[in-house]
Structure 1
Amino acid sequence: MTPAIKQLESAGVDFTVAEYAHDPRTPAYGEEAARALGLSPDEVFKTLLAKLDDGRLAVAIVPVSHWLDLKALARAAGARKAVMAEAEEAQRATGYVVGGISPLGQKRRLPTFLDASAEALPALHVSGGRRGLEIRLAPADLVRLTGARLAPLARS
């Protein structure tokens, strides 16, 4: 059981878990999850960490079908600039390995931003805390449990 699943269970949130065989040669974890589980890439969201120009880390959750717009994230976070965090820093801050970083159950709570497209979905999928593990839950529950703010973060 991962910290993400523990958080969901202790909060009494309705969720489901889906597992698939992760191919270690796959560099695109989110796309792999969508393909393996037969889901639309618009409903599978990746969890990314960025470093803001003031040194803070921020979590961005965007559909795997899109790229993260770092300028939009910076604006949403009240910063001038954002760059992708180094993998080691992301892993240290969240307690998860890259490709399995969940927005839930992280070691410490970071400012979190969810792409506004999630609002239109009845449910979305995020990493369950390890490669090959996805969690399906309502966007409102994800927002409540992570303290996420909705913002337009995705670009094609």
Structure 2
Amino acid sequence: MAIAKTNAVRLLDRLGIPYELRDYDVDPDDLVAESVARKIGLPPEQVFKTLVARGDKRGVCLAVVPADCELDLKALAKATGDKKIDTVSLKEVEPLTGYIRGGVTAMACKKTYPVFLEETAELFDVISVSAGIRGVQILLAPADYIRAVAATIAPIAKPKA
């Protein structure tokens, strides 16, 4: 089966960034990033999920953290320069990004938002992020991802409670 070219993939092609696509079976009842990691054969700390947050001063931003972690809101607020920040409601995700839950990526969003990437991403040769649709992940070098989305590196993840 040919994997559809998403806007995220087109962006990487335009930038001349090498990547690998991995597709997986989607279970609408199980969209957690750890399951995606298992399905594509990567450890969860190498598979990154993209969360949409809104700060009191700087507005909407994207936080990209490993599958086996949760977003540290205090750390993200510190990184963005906001006093208070929180993730947006699920119903706001698609209008803001153009992507549905389980398919959110910082690449080729509807609008350009500041992107904050958990610093542990740089420990790997390859990381995995959503290709912008459920069922397809993009594997690429962290430095290439950082360049593609102009990400700021920051310690924004914490172990799951």
- TM-score category (smaller protein): over 0.9
Find the partner of 2:152 among 146, 149, 154: 149
For the aligned residue pairs, the C-alpha RMSD in angstroms reads: 1.0
- Does residue 8 of the first structure (1) align with residue 12 of the second (2)? yes
Q: Which residue of 2 aligns with 1:39?
A: 42
Q: How many angstroms apart in 2 are the aligned matches of 1:94 and 1:9?
A: 20
Q: How many angstroms apart in 2 are the aligned matches of 1:132 and 1:92?
A: 21
Q: Where in structure 1 are there 5+ consecutive unaligned residues?
A: none
Among all aligned residue pairs of Structure 1 and Structure 2, give the percentage whose two residues are the same amino acid: 39
State the Cα deviation string for residues 98-130 of structure 1 (Å, max 9, x = none).
Answer: 110011111111011000001111110000111
- Aligned residues, how many? 155
State the Cα deviation string for residues 30-83 of structure 1 (Å, max 9, x = none).
Answer: 112101112100100000011101261110000001010011001000001111
Aligned-pair distance for 1:88? 2.4
Give the ranges of 4+ consecutive aligned residues of structure 1 lying more than 6 Å apart after TM superposition. none
Q: How many angstroms apart in 2 are the aligned matches of 1:43 and 1:27?
A: 17
Query: 3-state SS of the aligned residue for 1:13?
Result: coil
Scaled by the length of structure 2, what TM-score is found? 0.93
